[in-house]
Structure 1
Amino acid sequence: MDQLPTIELLEATHQFPGRYVFKVIGTTEDRFIGRVVQAVRAELASDMEPSFSSRTTAGGRHVSVTIEPEVKEAQQVLAIYERLRELDGLVMLF
């Protein structure tokens, strides 16, 4: 994901506060799933683990993580995207 959605687009297409779905694909190395979950928790300053699921590719090289945190506003969505973009091993983010 080269370009983040705008605040205007997020506010027009999502209701806040509410759940927002992030899909993150990365390498299976170095606890990628845990780092995705931790990045979201850190950005939200939350002790609670957000709802998430994961699926590893048939070859075992990549993992897809779907994470659905409760967010208060569009700005939090953008902050989470920025934090996720910094993860080592990231392949795709949407």
Structure 2
Amino acid sequence: MEEGLPTVELLESIHTFPCEYRFKVIGQADDHFVGRVLAAVRQELEEDSEPRFSTRTTTGGRHVSVTVEPTMETASHVIAVYSRLRDLEGLVMLL
């Protein structure tokens, strides 16, 4: 298990897979952060299309929150997506 990530056991005790899972990713509001988030999720899940998502920019415009809600097949996939998202350039917080 990677430090700071949920365990498979915890995820399976809270969710029934497959299910829609919500990732909240907060980062610097540059022109490409949202695209990097979506690309990371798509690549990890090997999807051609973007999952359902929404964005919200802070009042000052310095940060953007990206909520991504893909269908996750297993708890292991959730952990893999978290691992990929943690490496994003411009990441401030991952929930």
The two structures have a TM-score, normalised by structure 2, of 0.95
Counterparts of 1:20 and 1:88, CA distance in 2: 22
1:23 aligned residue: 24
Q: What letter is aligned with 2:67?
A: T
1:46-78 Cα shifts (integer Å, max 9, x gaps): 012100000000100000000001110000000
Counterparts of 1:56 and 1:30, CA distance in 2: 12
1:76 aligned residue: 77
Unaligned runs of 5+ in 2: none
1:64 aligned residue: 65
The two structures have a TM-score, normalised by structure 1, of 0.96
Identity of aligned residues (%): 61
- Give the count of matched residue pairs: 93
2:92 alignment partner, SS class: strand
2:15 aligned residue: 14
**Structure 1 position 30, deviation (Å):** 4.3
- 4+ runs deviating over 3 angstroms: none
Unaligned runs of 5+ in 1: none
